[in-house]
Structure formats: structure tokens, C-alpha cells
Amino acid sequence: MSVGCGGSAARRRRSRRSCAGTCGSGSARGGHSGVRASRQWSTSTSSQPPVAGRRAATSSRIPASGALPFADGSLLVVARGEAMARAGEDAPGTMAALIGINRYGSWTLMGQEQQNLTQANDLSTLQFLPRLDSETAVPVNRNLIVHFDQQTTNFYRQLGVRGWRMDLNPYIESPCTLANGGINVTAKIGSHLTRYWLQQQTGSSMLQRATGEASLEIRPVFERISTGRQWRSTIEPVLRYDYIDAPSNQSNLPNFDSSLAQLTMGNLLMGNRFSGYDRIQRANRVTLLLQSRLFTHQGQDHHVQQVMSVAIGSSYDMLLTTVDPAVQALPIHHLSNLLGQLSITPIPGINLHSYAQYNTQDKYWATSNIGLGLSSPRGDNLDIDYLFTDQRYATNVRQFVTSTKVILGQRWSLKGYVLYDALQKLVQQENIGLIYQHPCWSLEIDTFRYNRPAGTTSGKDYGFHFLLGFKGMG
């Protein structure tokens, strides 16, 4: 069981002040901004460690499918709970969640009140009151797993379309291994069934959509071990095919939470690259990803260290279509950008990393970043990154990002974060926080300032969070 209460505070431009909170993973947040104060009390309870986020699929399906023991799957669940706590720092708001996990899956019942500090008020800001997520995976045998996921949400706001959305996602997964485990093959087939019950909607208040989806992924692993068994190198190609039969025009459906993110290594192997469930891509796509990693193990007293990893990938979609031009521009090329990623750790504590996308059709670098990470055995770390995006691909970006954590003692540490915009020549975001870690509980106090010229004025948003976490309560 985990229990918490709290809030965060931020100053809204035009001198409107507010107090809000986020609670999850046995944590509590609180704050006060002086003009208008409020207090939120919330409880997160589960028989197992909590899960968090848009979906807990990764955490629940792994133990359910037998890929990990339940205890290890629970550790992944805890990590998602911590991600929920970190997400609460990004935007003021209030969140309460009731979460559970069992051998077949997980469920999350949550409510979230959001604030948009770039607006004069929150009359048109969507609130999730409530949202129920559940994921179920039942293994029939070692080569067949039956899944049934669903998400039901009440989207509420005083101005604009509001109402309920229910999305059902049944699908069958068939994993198998060939060549004594050297080749992993996974096939999936399923559907998304979505229905709306709307208010303040022009036209029909009951809308629905159905899709048919299938994918096939092949992952062979080739490895070589040196004669002295101190070095191990792998080559891991991934070939994936996605077919999604979705309505060609979804602009008649409301868009509560869907957006199309930039293509990254994280979503390259995903079928539907929209967030949320209001929009689902049509796809007839082939994706190829080539990965290679180098490991070293120097002596019995040393852990295995990854010295280098490199990945390159791209996808080819035979469809040039968009389901909603307001959310996704009509694609120009069948072939996506070429993605590349490199990470080098020459010695423990030093990491060099870079990521880039190259537009092979129009011959320009779409986006890239390069960074340096430093860490010490006791837990100190410093990360410095430079981010670049060409305006032909997305919003023009030239940013330096620095984050650090300094261990002050056995239980005390200091953290900081700075984002500098080289185009606008100003610091867009600053955070500094103090952390106290006890074996049974932790306390974190964090102050922030956002300097965003866009919005209601050119002023700054600033405020603070506090996080009180409890461990081992049930």
C-alpha cells in the first residue's frame, strides 16, 4: 500500500496564481503560491507496487507472458510509478491513482486535473475525471498469448466538446524462437474498437471507429566472443512489417489526446505512432533496424560493461495518406528519414552519445543531438547535451541542456537542470532541488522557473514542488 498527499505551486501569467498537486507511487507533493491556496489529499493503494502512465502494458505483459518472474515485473511497475511522479513536475496539476497488478496484467484508476499556464484560465483545459486503464495477458501455451486491453476516460471541460471515450484492444500474440534461441519471431493480430459519448458536439453525440491490425517482427541475434572471453560483440537486425486498416478520414472524431510525435528510435518499431486513441494511423509499412553492441568483462571482480552501441534504421510505408490533415500532414515520401544512434563508454563514468536523422530524399540533416555524460561510483552525475532541429522538419531548435546530481552526504543530494535556447538567447527553464533519502522514506524539494515568450504575456512561470515518498508500506 502507498499513501500520499500534496500539491505543487506555480505562478500563472497575468498574476493568476494556483496551487495543485500530483500524487502517485507512494509520494506526496505540496506547495503554496500566496494568493490563492488549496490543499489536495489523495491516496494510491495497491496490493502490489503501482504502475503509472498512459498504459502499464510493458510492466504487466512481461510477467504475464512469462518473460520475467513476477517480482522482477513488479520492479518495472515501480519504475513506471516513479515516472508518474517525475511527470508531475513538468506541469502543475492534481492526480490521484488507485493501481493494481496480478499475474495476468494490471489496472489503473486515476483522476487528473490539469493546468495550462499559457492560458488565462482552464475553462477549455481537458481534465481526466476519471480514467480506467486495464491490460490483461493470458498465456495459452508458450507460443500463444491472448491479450485484452481497454481504456475508458471521461474528458471534462467547461468550454468545448467533452464526454466519454472507450477503447477496446483485443489481440493475439504468437512468439516463437528458432535456431536454438538465435532468432525471435513475434506475430500479432488484433483490433481497436473505439466509441464516444459526447456533449456539446455538433452532429451525432455517439461516434465509433474500428480498425484491423497485424504485425510480424523477426529478431535474429549474431554474437561473437573473444578467445579470452573478455569481449563480446553482437549484431542484431530487426525486420518488422505493420499493416493497419483504419478509417481513411477520422477528422469527424474529437481529438482529446492524440498527436503525432517526431519519428525516433523509440517509436520506429511501433505500428501506430499516434499518442492517445483518438487517431490511429493507416499503415502498410516495412521497417528495418540494425543494431550492434560491444561488451567487455575484465576479470572476475568486474561487472559486464557495454563499451559501445550503434543503431541505424528506417521504414518504408507503401501508403501516402493521412487520417486527419489537422494532426498529420500528408506524407511526401514513402521512405522515412534515416535514423542513427551511437553511444560510447570508453571507461566507466564517461559516456559519449549522439543521435541524428538524415532526410535522404531532400538531402539535409533533420534533427540531431550530441552529449556527454559523467558519473561517479557514489552516484554523482553530470549530463550536457546540444539539440538541433532543422525548420524544414519541425520547429527550429538550437538548445543546450544541462542536468546534474551531486551527492552531499550519505542521505543528502542536490540536483539541478538548465535549458538554454541559443536562438532566443535566454534560459528557458531552471530547476534546483534538494533530496533527502531515508531507508523508509524520502523528501524532495524542487523550485523551478520557466521563461517562455509564447503565451499570455512574456513573463515567467515559477513555483515549487515537494515530494514525500514512503517505502515498504504494504
**pLDDT single digits (tens) 304-350:** 889 999 999 999 999 989 999 999 888 889 999 999 999 999 998 99
Nearest to 26 by CA among 472, 430, 384: 472
Average pLDDT across the chain, whole number? 80
Packing angle between helix 57-64 and helix 70-87, nearest 10 degrees?
Answer: 180
Residue 213 has a pLDDT of 97
> Do 438 and 411 touch, CB atoms closer than 8 A?
yes
Which residues, in sequence order, are CB contacts of 438 under 8 Å at separation 6+? 411
Strand partners, 238: 289
CB atoms within 10 A of CB 274: 22
Query: What cell does 443 get?
Result: 523528501
Burial of 110 (0-12, 13-18, 19+ CB in 10 A): buried
> Is residue 51 pLDDT above 60, yes or no?
no
Confidence of residue 301 (pLDDT cuts 50, 70, 90): low
Residue 25 has a pLDDT of 38
Tens of pLDDT, residues 172-231: 999 999 988 889 999 999 999 999 999 876 777 889 999 999 999 999 999 999 888 889
Q: Which residue in this structure is represented by grid cell 484492444?
A: 169
Q: Which residue in this structure is represented by grid cell 535522404?
A: 360
Tens of pLDDT, residues 438-453: 888 888 888 988 886 5
Residue 452 has a pLDDT of 64
Structure letter (DSSP) for residue 74: H
Residues 173, 292: Cα–Cα separation, whole Å: 27
**Measured CA distances, 166 to 192, 278, 294, 306 (Å):** 10, 10, 45, 43
pLDDT above 90 covers what percent of the chain? 51
> Is residue 455 pLDDT above 70, yes or no?
no
Tens of pLDDT, residues 108-167: 898 888 877 667 788 888 888 899 999 999 999 999 999 999 999 999 998 888 999 999
Torsions phi, psi for 82 (to 5 deg) = -65, -35
Residue 44 has a pLDDT of 33
Largest CA distance in the chain: 72
pTM given for the model: 0.76
> Do 19 and 9 touch, CB atoms closer than 8 A?
yes
Residues 157, 116: Cα–Cα separation, whole Å: 13
Percent helix, strand, coil in the chain (nearest 5)? 5, 55, 40
Cα–chain center distance at 235: 27
Q: Does residue 130 have a cis peptide bond before it, meaning omega lies within 30 degrees of 0?
A: yes
Which residues, in sequence order, are CB contacts of 324 under 8 Å at separation 6+? 249, 250, 251, 255, 279
Task: Show the CA angle centred on residue 277, arms to residues 276 and 279, nearest 5°.
Answer: 100
Residues 173, 65: Cα–Cα separation, whole Å: 10
Structure letter (DSSP) for residue 274: B
Containing 105, the helix (H) or strand (E) segment is: strand 105-114
Residue 439 has a pLDDT of 85
Give mean pLDDT, residues 21-32.
Answer: 37
> Do 336 and 317 touch, CB atoms closer than 8 A?
yes
